Amino acid sequence: MKLREDEVRIPSPAGPIRAVVLRPTGDAALPGLLLYTDIFQLTESTLRTARRFASAGFVVCVPEIYPHGDLAGVALEFDDAGKQAGLAGAAATPTAAFDADRVAVLDFLQARADTTALLATGFCIGGHLAFRAALDPRVAATVCFYPTGLHNGALGADPDAGSLARAADIRGRLMLVFGAQDPHVPAPARVEILSALYTAGLDDLELHVYSGGEHAFMRDVGARHDPELTDLALTAAVSFFAAR
């Protein structure tokens, strides 16, 4: 499968959003997938994952999650300095800014001639952002990979973004993926998330908890990476998006 990759600037009220769009070569109309990164932004690791989704038959749009400040245009290193910069970028970004950028990116995807349905996915903080994308009625299906802060609402500058409290607004299908050994989303947090979703009436969803998986087990850099679990999770996500 040959792919095409384009760097684009998506207009938004706060200024342009740098993003990478990946799709199979050709002109076929395909589902548009908004893919949110982790705190390290547009790293080659995330782009490798985006390429795998694109090769499965999606138009994948990967925006920067900090496109308007000092981190605009910066792909952070997977080290302590990169982690601290990414966390600082999150702490400086209110939920309203994340939401406004999401609307801009979904508008961009929807307006493209080569997209059909709108889908969303994301990793870590991006998993939480993907959950918020699911609140948009245009999004037909969402996969959240180990979303941080979803159980207690913590997102960016806001101690409680109220994401779970709005779960009943989700109209599309939802899938959640966790590693069983994730200290950021341990078993009690996963139970809290699932209970809130069921209470909101979202009982038709998929939950995958992978034994031995640590936080960010799908990031193919570092000791936490588990290639086997990554393949299982990506296969499950593609199948879910394709509605089998």
User: What is d(CA 86, CA 53) in angstroms, rounded to the nearest whole number?
Assistant: 24
- Residues 68-89, buried b or exposed e (16+ Cβ, 10 A)? beebeebbbeeeeebeebbeeb
Q: Is 182 a catalytic residue?
A: yes
Q: Which residues contact 146 (CB under 8 A, 6 or more apart)?
A: 123, 124, 127, 177, 178, 179, 182, 184, 185, 215, 216, 217
User: What is d(CA 98, CA 89) in angstroms, rounded to the nearest whole number?
Assistant: 12
The CA R_g of the chain, rounded to the nearest whole Å, is 16
Q: Which residues contact 122 (CB under 8 A, 6 or more apart)?
A: 35, 36, 37, 128, 129, 130, 133, 144, 145, 147
Q: Is 124 a catalytic residue?
A: yes
Q: Is 204 a catalytic residue?
A: no
Q: Which of 101, 136, 182, 226 is catalytic?
A: 182
Query: Which of 82, 89, 84, 91 has the alpha carbon at shortest distance from 64?
Result: 89
Residue type, 183: P
Q: Is the CB of residue 31 less than 8 Å from the CB of residue 115?
A: yes
Q: Which of 68, 124, 144, 151 is catalytic?
A: 124
Q: Which of 128, 151, 208, 215 is catalytic?
A: 215
Residues acting as catalytic residues: 124, 182, 215
